[in-house]
C-alpha cells in the first residue's frame, strides 16, 4: 500500500517512520534527538515533549541496515475506533531556505495557506451506524475555502448521528496549551509541521457500564441490546511484524495511524518498496465481550435510542473525552530568535474555527 510510505505499526506500540531523503530526514532526526536528549535541561524543550509523540530513537531492519526509521509512539494505540485528522499549521508551508521553485510549488498547492493558516491533510472518521470509516484525502482539505472551512472541519467531529462537541471542547483545551508554549518560546520555528488529532469514535457511552439499569432506562436503550454487566469493548490492536526474510518486512498494518503520519508525504520511499511488503489486514468486527450490537439492530429503529446514549451523555461522563492532539512532522524546524508568528496565526485561527463550530 503505497500510501503507507514505509510507516509500519510495530507490536510494541510504536510506529516506524522511514527517514526522508536529506536534508529533511536528518533534520527531523536531529530535532527529535535534541528534544529527547537525556541530558536536556532546556525547559522549553522539556515542555515541548508533552505535545509530541514519544521518541525511541532510530531503528534499521537487520536485512537493510542502511534504511533508517524513526521509532515513535503510536498515538492511536489506546483507542478502540480512532478518528484521526492531520492538519498542517502555519502561514507558509515552505521553509526560509526553500528555492523559488519549491515556494511556487507549495503556494500553488494551497494558495489560501497564508490567509487561513492551516490545511487539512486528511481525516478518517468512524461512523457508528455503519461501523465503518469515512476518509478524506488531501484534495478534500485543499478544496476548502474561508467560507467552507468551518463545515469542512466539523465533518471530522460528526459521527453520522451527532456532533461530538465533547471531542471539540477537549481538542480546543489541548490546542490552547500548545499555543501557550508557542507564545512563550523564541527558539524554534516550524514549517510544514502538522497537528494530529485523535478522538475515540466509540463514544464515552460505550465504556461506561451501560447496563447500569437506571441509565439504560433513562436513555431508553432497547431490551436485549445490552446484557448484564458487560462493558462494550473492541480490540483492534493487532499489528504484528511477522517475519523478516530476504530483506522484506512483512507487516500487518491496521487502518490506523500509519496512513496519517504519512498521508500527505510524497512517495519518497517508493524506491524502498521492493523491501517493504505491507499488507492491510481487514479485521473482523468481532466484539470482545458477549454484548453484541448487531447490524440488524443498527439498521432498525434502534438508532434514535442509540443516539440518545451516544450523544447525550451526562456531563460528568463526557468531561474526560478521550482526545489526543500532538505535533508531528519536523523535517522543516529551524532555530530562531523570534516567536513563530506564522504557526501562532494558524493555531489561533484553527482554535477560532473549532470554537465557532462549538458555539453554533
Neighbours of 299 (CB within 10 A): 11
Residues 107 and 171 in one domain: yes
pLDDT at 320: 53
Per mean pLDDT, which of 28-42, 202-216, 235-249 is the most reliable? 28-42
Residues 15 and 52 in one domain: yes
Residues 85 and 197 in one domain: yes
Residues 337 and 198 in one domain: yes
Q: What is the CATH number of the domain that holds 104?
A: 3.30.470.160
pLDDT average, residue stretch 312-333: 75
8 A C-beta contact, residue 226 and residue 287: no
Q: How far apart are the first and last CA of the chain?
A: 39
Average pLDDT of the residues of the chain: 77
Q: List the strands of the sheet with 69-73, edge to edge.
A: 7-9, 14-18, 69-73, 55-59
Residues 61 and 79 in one domain: no
Q: Is the dihedral of CA 222, 224, 229, 234 positive or negative?
A: negative
Q: What is the DSSP letter of 130?
A: T
What is the domain range of residue 6? 1-74
What is the per-residue DSSP string for 295-323? Answer: HHHHHTTHHHHHHHHHH---HHHHTT--E
pLDDT at 260: 45
pLDDT at 312: 53
Q: Is the pLDDT of residue 213 over 90?
A: no
C-alpha count within 13 angstroms, C-beta hemisphere, residue 19:
24
Q: From CA 191, how far away is CA 96, in angstroms rounded? A: 9
pLDDT at 6: 56
Inside any domain, residue 248: no
pLDDT at 198: 98
8 A C-beta contact, residue 223 and residue 233: no
8 A C-beta contact, residue 282 and residue 108: no
Residue 103's region, left for phi above 0, alpha for psi from -120 to 50, else beta, is alpha
**28-45 burial code (b ≥16 CB/10 A, e <16):** bbebbebbbeeeeeeeeb
Residues 89 and 59 in one domain: no
**pLDDT tens-place string over residues 3-54:** 345 578 998 999 999 999 999 999 999 999 999 999 999 999 999 999 999 9
Residues 79 and 197 in one domain: yes
Q: Is the dihedral of CA 210, 212, 215, 217 positive or negative?
A: positive
Per mean pLDDT, which of 219-223, 234-238, 334-338 is the most reliable? 334-338
Q: What is the DSSP letter of 104?
A: H
Reported pTM: 0.73
Q: From CA 41, how far away is CA 29, in angstroms rounded? A: 19
Q: How many domains does the chain have?
A: 2
**92-118 burial code (b ≥16 CB/10 A, e <16):** bbbbeebeeeeeeebeeebeebeebbb
Q: From CA 306, how far away is CA 310, in angstroms rounded? A: 6
The three three-digit cell numbers of residue 46, written as one number: 522539556
Q: Is the dihedral of CA 96, 99, 103, 105 positive or negative?
A: negative
Inside any domain, residue 213: no
Inside any domain, residue 178: yes
Residues 112 and 158 in one domain: yes
Inside any domain, residue 216: no
Q: What is the DSSP letter of 174?
A: H
Residues 196 and 332 in one domain: yes
- Quick one: pLDDT band at residue 203, thresholds 50, 70, 90? confident
Inside any domain, residue 28: yes
Residues 200 and 340 in one domain: yes
**pLDDT tens-place string over residues 299-317:** 444 444 544 444 555 444 4
Inside any domain, residue 185: yes
Q: What is the DSSP letter of 288?
A: S
pLDDT at 269: 39
Q: Which residue has the cell 451523555?
A: 313
Which H or E run contains 250? strand 248-253
Residues 197 and 327 in one domain: yes
Boundary (domain end) residue, out of 74, 103, 127: 74
Q: Which residue, 188, 179, 175, 174, is CA-closest to 35?
A: 188
Q: Is the pLDDT of residue 167 over 80?
A: yes
Boundary (domain end) residue, out of 59, 74, 89: 74
Residues 69 and 127 in one domain: no
Per mean pLDDT, which of 29-43, 206-220, 287-301 is the most reliable? 29-43
Amino acid at each position: 500500500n503505497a500510501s503507507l510510505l514505509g510507516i509500519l505499526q510495530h507490536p510494541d506500540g510504536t510506529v516506524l517512520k522511514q527517514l526522508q531523503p536529506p536534508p529533511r530526514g536528518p533534520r527531523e532526526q536531529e530535532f527529535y534527538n535534541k528534544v529527547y536528549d537525556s541530558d536536556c535541561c532546556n525547559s522549553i524543550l522539556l515542555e515541548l515533549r508533552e505535545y509530541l509523540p514519544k521518541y525511541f530513537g532510530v531503528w534499521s531492519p537487520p536485512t537493510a541496515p542502511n534504511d533508517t526509521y524513526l521509532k515513535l509512539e503510536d498515538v492511536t494505540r489506546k483507542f478502540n475506533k480512532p478518528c484521526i485528522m492531520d492538519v498542517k499549521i502555519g502561514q507558509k508551508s515552505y521553509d526560509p531556505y526553500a528555492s523559488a521553485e519549491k515556494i511556487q510549488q507549495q503556494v500553488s498547492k494551497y494558495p489560501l495557506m497564508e490567509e487561513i493558516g492551516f490545511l487539512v491533510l486528511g481525516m478518517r472518521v468512524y461512523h457508528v451506524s455503519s461501523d465503518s470509516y469515512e476518509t478524506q484525502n488531501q484534495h478534500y482539505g485543499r478544496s476548502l475555502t474561508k467560507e467552507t472551512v468551518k463545515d469542512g472541519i466539523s465533518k471530522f467531529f460528526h459521527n453520522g448521528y451527532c456532533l461530538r462537541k465533547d471531542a471539540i471542547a477537549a481538542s480546543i483545551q489541548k490546542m490552547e496549551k500548545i499555543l501557550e508554549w508557542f507564545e512563550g518560546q523564541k527558539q524554534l520555528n516550524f514549517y510544514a509541521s502538522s497537528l494530529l488529532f485523535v478522538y475515540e469514535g466509540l463514544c464515552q457511552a460505550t465504556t461506561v457500564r451501560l447496563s447500569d439499569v437506571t441509565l439504560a432506562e433513562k436513555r431508553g436503550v432497547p431490551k436485549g441490546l445490552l446484557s448484564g454487566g458487560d462493558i462494550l469493548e473492541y480490540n483492534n490492536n493487532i499489528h504484528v511484524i511477522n517475519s523478516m526474510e530476504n530483506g522484506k518486512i512483512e507487516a500487518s498494518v491496521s487502518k490506523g495511524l500509519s496512513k496519517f503520519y504519512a498521508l500527505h508525504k510524497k512517495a519518497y520511499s517508493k524506491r524502498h518498496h521492493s523491501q517493504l511488503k505491507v499488507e492491510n489486514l481487514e479485521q473482523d468486527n468481532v466484539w470482545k465481550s458477549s454484548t453484541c450490537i448487531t447490524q440488524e439492530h443498527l439498521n432498525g429503529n434502534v438508532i434514535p435510542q442509540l443516539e440518545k446514549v451516544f450523544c447525550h451523555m451526562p456531563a460528568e461522563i463526557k468531561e474526560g473525552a478521550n482526545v489526543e492532539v500532538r505535533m508531528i512532522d519536523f523535517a522543516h524546524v529551524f532555530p530562531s530568535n523570534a516567536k513563530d508568528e506564522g504557526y501562532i496565526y494558524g493555531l489561533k485561527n484553527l482554535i477560532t474555527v473549532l470554537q465557532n463550530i462549538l458555539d453554533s
